[in-house]
A and B are shown apart, each in its own frame.
Chain A
Amino acid sequence: ETGVTQSPTHLIKTRGQQVTLRCSSQSGHNTVSWYQQALGQGPQFIFQYYREEENGRGNFPPRFSGLQFPNYSSELNVNALELDDSALYLCASSLTGLRTDTQYFGPGTRLTVL
């Protein structure tokens, strides 16, 4: 059983650019959530996908968007990058999306916006 994987590991972009981050869920999981973790802070929920549909969204602007594919892998897209978007982006998958379900996290993508 493979765990949650994310790519790329690190990324450097300039302000105003667009970025796509990728996540492969743990085998058998149909729910994926994305979190942003700024330096020195706890992760903040961006949005969740369940069976290819957005299932909830945190307090992030529309320039943060996502996709979930039939194989339950996922993308996070960020348009018009701002300096404050510099953070570790974490993807987490879970089996069914129930409250009691454990979310398994990937290693993250470190995004630096210059």
Chain B
Amino acid sequence: AQSVTQLGSHVSVSEGALVLLRCNYSSSVPPYLFWYVQYPNQGLQLLLKYTSAATLVKGINGFEAEFKKSETSFHLTKPSAHMSDAAEYFCAVSDDGSARQLTFGSGTQLTVLP
């Protein structure tokens, strides 16, 4: 079974600083990985996904993530944080069973300080 671990339930960065949100996965098959963002009182919005093409994946709002098989990681980065990036971020892996459900990490709350 697949699983996802997000290190750091809360991350704070200054506006303009690098954003790094960590995600490690466990999968018995080649994983398909996703990052979603959730703003307060809203549903989930897809930021980017990895489906075994390029290992560096570019998403919306300037975010990108790099798939590293040797480290079983899929960390999310953004070179320069903006106040509007403050939200909760979830890493997810797609299951390989008959139901293609997503298994989510517990989330990382990103705070951007002025």
Q: Chain A residues in contact with chain B, CB under 8 A?
A: 4, 6, 31, 33, 35, 40-45, 47-48, 55-58, 90, 92, 94, 97-108, 110
Contact A100-B107, Cβ < 8 Å, known A90-B44, A94-B100, A108-B43: no
Chain A contacts for B100, CB-based, 8 A: 31, 48, 56, 94, 97-99, 101
Q: Which of A47, A97, A107 contacts B42 (CB 8 A)?
A: A107
From B14-22, B60-68, B75-83, B90-98, give the one contacting chain A.
B90-98
B76-114 near A? 1/0 per residue, CB < 8 Å? 000000000000001010111111111111110000000
Chain A contacts for B105, CB-based, 8 A: 42
The smallest C-beta distance from B65 to any residue of chain A, in angstroms, reads 15
CA distance A57 to B94 in the complex (A): 14
CA distance A71 to B46 in the complex (A): 24
Contact A56-B43, Cβ < 8 Å, known A41-B107, A42-B107, A100-B51: no
Chain A contacts for B98, CB-based, 8 A: 55-56
B104 A43 Cβ-Cβ under 8 A: yes
Contact A43-B49, Cβ < 8 Å, known A33-B101, A99-B100: no
Cβ-Cβ contact count across A and B, 8 Å cutoff:
74
The smallest C-beta distance from A95 to any residue of chain B, in angstroms, reads 11
Could you show 23 A-B contacts with beta carbons less than 8 Å apart?
A4-B43, A6-B43, A31-B100, A40-B107, A42-B105, A42-B106, A42-B107, A43-B90, A43-B102, A43-B104, A45-B95, A45-B101, A45-B102, A92-B44, A97-B100, A99-B94, A100-B32, A101-B100, A103-B46, A105-B36, A105-B44, A105-B45, A106-B43
Closest to A110 in B: B41
Chain B contacts for A47, CB-based, 8 A: 99
Chain B contacts for A102, CB-based, 8 A: 34, 46, 49
CA distance A42 to B42 in the complex (A): 13
CA distance A41 to B104 in the complex (A): 9
Chain B contacts for A31, CB-based, 8 A: 100
A105 B101 Cβ-Cβ under 8 A: no
CA distance A31 to B102 in the complex (A): 13
